[in-house]
Structure 1
Amino acid sequence: MGQTADVSAIVWSAAVSLAAWLWLLLLQGWFWRTDVRLPASRDPDVWPEVCVVVPARDEAAVLPASLPSLLAQDYPGRAEIFLVDDGSTDGTARLARELAERLGGLPLTVGTPGEPPAGWTGKLWAVRHGMALARARGPEYLLLTDADIAHAPDSLRRLVAAARTGGFDIVSQMARLRVESLWERLVVPAFVYFFAQLYPFRRIAGPGSRTAAAAGGCVLLRAEAAERARIPDAVRHAVIDDVAVARAVKRSGGRVWLGLADGVDSVRPYPRLADLWRMVSRSAYAQLRHNPALLAGTVAGLAVVYLVPPVAVAAGAVAGNAPCALLGAAAWLVMAGTYVPMLRYYRQPLWLAPLLPVTAFLYLLMTVDSAVQHRRGRGAAWKGRTYARPETAAEEG
């Protein structure tokens, strides 16, 4: 009797999971499609001035693979790079100057803002300093890009043309992350897949849509829109700063576009599970606004949507319950099918698609660990700094 009741509960859970997947498939902004790329554009008659702002903290290991790509940008207008050394101890600033002297290309200025005051994250404090340096040049656009991002030679040209043609205040590309190690293959494509599920790219650019997000590795921002939205001061405490910037710009009346990248690549390696774990867990609980109720709901949702289907297949097979197995298999099939386009975008084998429940379980554990670390006062730790909750930072300020 007890075993029958257990299987019945799994049947109902599998039915809920299948319904959730059908809703995600059809009604969540076609999040699973990967054809949202830079929109069609035309070259402007006069190319506007652009300043590139690169916050960098202990990035000497990746700069030789990323900074040369910025220096070599084939941009028809005036462009200049401001690399802001955020308290590095590995010679980041010196290496940047050496690369610029040796390779030439776009002018490079290296600045140092000092330690961030209470209420500021180090990255946004560095961005503020870089934007202040750039303001003296009076650029129409700012390209905010991370120190581990390599750009194709025409990247800046294409970003500006897309922004001008579409009238966008933000044009952001989700950089293609490195996928070489076993753990990167298992975790990285899913990271982008989950992000697109939360922030469907098609909705972000839609007129009247409240959905807003950007990808911090590559954000072309209209300087006037940044001033209107008080960027970065308005989001100075944000750990997930890219989404916060996009929301602030959209709230102030700006238009935002986000899509997948061609020719914008992250060169930062995450060879071990521990590296990927830190990347996700440092901001996962911040994404949930440090709210225990949201954490509980997220864990329950991940379990029902991603973990119940394989459990239902196994339980149905063991108990000889065909409806249980079929409902679980149908939900699992839809899940795997929506993951296939992302695997193709990352040029990964399609046999990884049925393993998405395994990856989702890892993300569930990372999210719980993020909450535990925050409770212990070690949340949002990154490169030697630990950031308080926003309300705590505000009280300290």
Structure 2
Amino acid sequence: MWIAAASLAAWLWLLVGQGFFWRTDLRLPPRREPERWPSVCVVVPARDEAEVLPTSLPSLLAQDYPGRAEVFLVDDGSGDGTGELARALAERRGGLPLTVTTPGEPPAGWTGKLWAVRHGMTLARARGPEYLLLTDADIAHEPDSLRELVAAATTGGYDLVSQMARLRVASAWERLVVPAFVYFFAQLYPFRWIARKGGRTAAAAGGCVLLRAEAAERTRVPDAIRHAVIDDVALARAVKGAGGHIWLGLAERVDSVRPYPRLADLWRMVARSAYAQLRHNPAVLAGTVGGLAVVYLAPPVALFAGLAAGSAGAALLGGLAWLVMTVTYLPMLRYYRQPLWLALTLPATAFLYLLMTVDSAVQHYRGRGAAWKGRTYTRPDAATAEESRP
């Protein structure tokens, strides 16, 4: 009963005290078209993306942008013909100018994505852009996406504007896991707190980040965050830490086209960076597991155990905590156009995330943590030590 009471207290606090994280009404901020449209370079890191590129790249090339814009696709050592396919798509579809380049293997201390981003940004800087759009190769943009992002940035004076792309939700496992992924992210980084000037909360969604070129120079990104596995959050922290004004919200017209049809696909996606999110700290891992158990697992357990044992207090408190939990999840399910009854499955989904987090730590200590597309990254302090060797 006391555990159920603690869980209910936690949910009541989360309901009103965590930046109203559960609300999904935060879209691009108010904006108006600028008198002069600034120049933009789009940087797309891509590694083995031939499956999704025919959908995503043409959407970038077809951007209806009134100013000067061009696209740099950085082929990060792909083995599936990503670079050749990108050139063929540009020749066939036309649109914005496209440059396809290859950076070579990343040196010690760099993640592959950030090394590719650095290479693309270096080429882009030669064009003197005022803004850089950093977007992943699996992200499809509506034709007015770039126009809307730039208008929001110039109107609000933002150094960074990021949109959480709407992830694909088609398979049964995607329906169970994907909306919860965004829900948990918003709980960790309430979007309303991110936009506060002087606040500590900072995050971005790496699939769609419009960055002021001057802010990138001032913060020395991506060099300053070259070790980061969770690069989007590190980027936002660097910009906000240097006094920049940032914004993050949910997207309406920016979508991820990458499929995660099986549980194993989603498991790898979450587990590759979950322990990095906890700073590879066993104590933080233990606290996270305990917190997930009390906040998400205790309510249904208390409800059913209380009913079975005849403990009205435990059943009532557990049921109320589960009710608050369910209500906070409904807006995210509506955003993803999913059946609302799935809100009742959030404790089961949280249990899956708990297992994924533990597995992430296990894989890290086995030397297989933070693995992605054939590369495994060490934690930042180990990478720094490796760089400093003679």
TM-score relative to the length of structure 2: 0.99
Structure 1 segments (4+ residues) deviating >6 Å: none
- Asked if 1:315 corresponds to 2:305, the answer is yes
Correspondence for 1:122? 112
Correspondence for 1:107? 97
CA distance in 2, matches of 1:46, 1:26: 41
CA distance in 1, matches of 2:359, 2:268: 10
CA distance in 1, matches of 2:334, 2:219: 37
CA distance in 2, matches of 1:111, 1:198: 36
Matches within 5 A, 1:58-137: 58-137=48-127
CA distance in 2, matches of 1:282, 1:12: 35
SS of the equivalent of 2:369 reads coil
**Where does the alignment leave 5 or more consecutive residues of structure 2 unmatched?**
none
SS of the equivalent of 1:262 reads strand
Correspondence for 2:248? 258
SS of the equivalent of 1:34 reads coil
- Partner letter of residue 369 of structure 1? D
CA distance in 1, matches of 2:46, 2:379: 23
SS of the equivalent of 2:318 reads helix
Contact 2:198/2:243, CA 8 A, preserved across alignment? no
- Asked if 1:198 corresponds to 2:188, the answer is yes
- For residue 208 of structure 1, report the CA deviation from its aligned partner: 2.2
CA distance in 1, matches of 2:60, 2:374: 27
What are the Cα deviations for residues 331-351 of structure 1, in whole angstroms up to 9, with x where unaligned?
A: 000000000000000000000
- Asked if 1:227 corresponds to 2:217, the answer is yes
CA distance in 2, matches of 1:296, 1:230: 34
- For residue 40 of structure 1, report the CA deviation from its aligned partner: 1.1
- Asked if 1:56 corresponds to 2:46, the answer is yes
CA distance in 1, matches of 2:83, 2:317: 57
**Where does the alignment leave 5 or more consecutive residues of structure 1 unmatched?**
1-10
TM-score relative to the length of structure 1: 0.97
- Partner letter of residue 305 of structure 2? A
CA distance in 1, matches of 2:3, 2:200: 31
- For residue 124 of structure 1, report the CA deviation from its aligned partner: 0.0
Correspondence for 2:283? 293
- For residue 127 of structure 1, report the CA deviation from its aligned partner: 0.1
What are the Cα deviations for residues 39-91 of structure 1, in whole angstroms up to 9, with x where unaligned?
A: 11000000000000000000000000100000000000000000000000000
Correspondence for 2:178? 188
- Partner letter of residue 247 of structure 1? R
Correspondence for 2:147? 157
Alpha-carbon RMSD across the aligned residues, in angstroms, is 0.3
- Partner letter of residue 218 of structure 1? C
- Asked if 1:46 corresponds to 2:27, the answer is no
CA distance in 1, matches of 2:54, 2:232: 24
- Partner letter of residue 134 of structure 1? A
Contact 2:174/2:261, CA 8 A, preserved across alignment? yes
Correspondence for 1:24? 14
- Partner letter of residue 154 of structure 1? D
259, 278, 281: which one aligns with 1:269: 259
- For residue 209 of structure 1, report the CA deviation from its aligned partner: 1.2
- Partner letter of residue 320 of structure 1? G
SS of the equivalent of 2:209 reads strand
SS of the equivalent of 1:341 reads helix
- Partner letter of residue 149 of structure 1? I
How many residues matched?
387
Correspondence for 2:358? 368
Correspondence for 1:7? none
CA distance in 1, matches of 2:256, 2:345: 24
What are the Cα deviations for residues 13-60 of structure 1, in whole angstroms up to 9, with x where unaligned?
A: 000000000000010000000000001100000000000000000000
SS of the equivalent of 2:250 reads strand
Correspondence for 1:6? none
SS of the equivalent of 2:100 reads strand
- For residue 207 of structure 1, report the CA deviation from its aligned partner: 2.4
CA distance in 1, matches of 2:19, 2:219: 27
CA distance in 1, matches of 2:38, 2:139: 23
